[in-house]
Structure 1
Amino acid sequence: MIDTEEKIIEEEIAETDEEVAVQDQDSADDVASEPVESAVSPVKNNRRKNERRPSRRSERARQEFENKIISVRRVTRVVSGGRRFSFSIAVVIGDKKGKVGVGVGKASDTPIAIEKAIRNAKKNMIKVALTPRGSISHPTETKYASARVFLTPAPGKGVIAGSAVRVVLELAGVKEVSSKILSRSKNKLNIARATVKALKQLKTKKVK
């Protein structure tokens, strides 16, 4: 069953510069400008606090990690007022140096869902124990839900993988490995999580 989406209220504040045309110079001199400045300046400060912090956080995440979307689902919920649409997006992030994670974000707008998925992926990130040549130390097989994935070292052959397995391996920085999906599952999210679970078994440590 699909989890009920919580209501997301987006407040869009349009910043506009008001230009006041003064026709009578004598009357303009009598107008006090100090109360107007004191009333407007706190609003601008609050706006900066609310808008800049999320953008800086997301900017750091983009600079530190690469991300790829592996799954996009549109969910329709029928309510008394009509139909409401939301999006569920699965994302894989990694630094290609051993860190990788899978996350899911849900929202009524795709950009917000992507940001949530990236934050969720960072919470679930692991550190993969790679060999000096960028391979894995031994074969491993694991299952997540209905997806089963098998990984084995492949010296000199590069990354032999497809679907979401390849995305996870490339963003983790694995360069010499062969993989095989042993199940009939076509769910890319489950396949990606099964791959991360397989890499986690290679003496990995969770990133704090």
Structure 2
Amino acid sequence: MKQTIVDASQLELMDKVVVIKRVSKTVKGGRTMRFTALVVVGDGNGHVGAGLGKAVEIPEAIRKGKEDAMKHIVNVAMDENNSITHDFIGTYGSANVLLKKAPDGTGIIAGGPARIVCELAGIKNIRTKSLGSNNKQNVVLATIAGLSKLKSPEEVAKNRDKSVNEILA
């Protein structure tokens, strides 16, 4: 499946920091401390992305993470209930995230990292379950990988040479 490139400058993006970690490199003179920040950006209307920033100071790491996230924005296929179009399992590394379609009024039933991604993507009704690794970075990237591979009923109908009504029936 070919992914379309989304121009981040055309979107009004919100961002949230998922996790900030202090990392160190041991050198001859001791340890050098740095910070990594995992940032998720989204417009609340079907576009979301995640990025990792690394720097000596926290604000700089967050800024770099936001820039990286803007370069990796994907489209999310949603239905009329602001839920996903079908169930799917997103995978990244050893983290698997089960994404399940939910009826209107369900809300976002998800753990911390997956919840942030769903909120910023604009999804209002979804159930998720983190399977495998619970590493926050891998869970965020697995959720985005799953959301990016969702197909709308129009795409499925076109691929199968059928009408949308036949697919939804």
TM category (shorter chain) comes to: 0.7 to 0.9
1:85 and 2:27 correspond: no
1:59-98 → structure 2 map (5 Å cutoff): 64-98=12-46
Deviation at 1:163, TM superposition (A): 1.8
Query: 2: distance between equivalents of 1:141 and 1:124?
Result: 20
Q: Deviations over 1:88-114 (max 9, x none)?
A: 110111111111001000000111100
1:197 and 2:149 correspond: no
Q: Which has the higher contact order (CA 8 A, sep 6+)?
A: 2
What is the match of residue 126 of structure 2?
177
Give the structure-1-normalised TM-score: 0.65
Which has a greater percent of strand?
2
Give the structure-2-normalised TM-score: 0.79
Q: Which amino acid aligns with 2:34?
A: S
1:122-201 → structure 2 map (5 Å cutoff): 122-156=70-104, 157-183=106-132, 185-201=133-149
Pick which of 76-85 and 166-175 moved more.
76-85
> Which segments of 5 or more consecutive residues in structure 1 lack a partner in the other structure?
1-59
Query: 2: distance between equivalents of 1:73 and 1:177?
Result: 29
Pick which of 144-153 and 79-88 moved more.
79-88
Q: Aligned residues: percent identity?
A: 42
Query: 1: distance between equivalents of 2:110 and 2:50?
Result: 17
Q: Which amino acid aligns with 2:110?
A: A
Larger radius of gyration: 1
Query: 2: distance between equivalents of 1:116 and 1:203?
Result: 31
Q: Among residues 46, 69, 78, which one is paired with 1:121 in the alignment?
A: 69
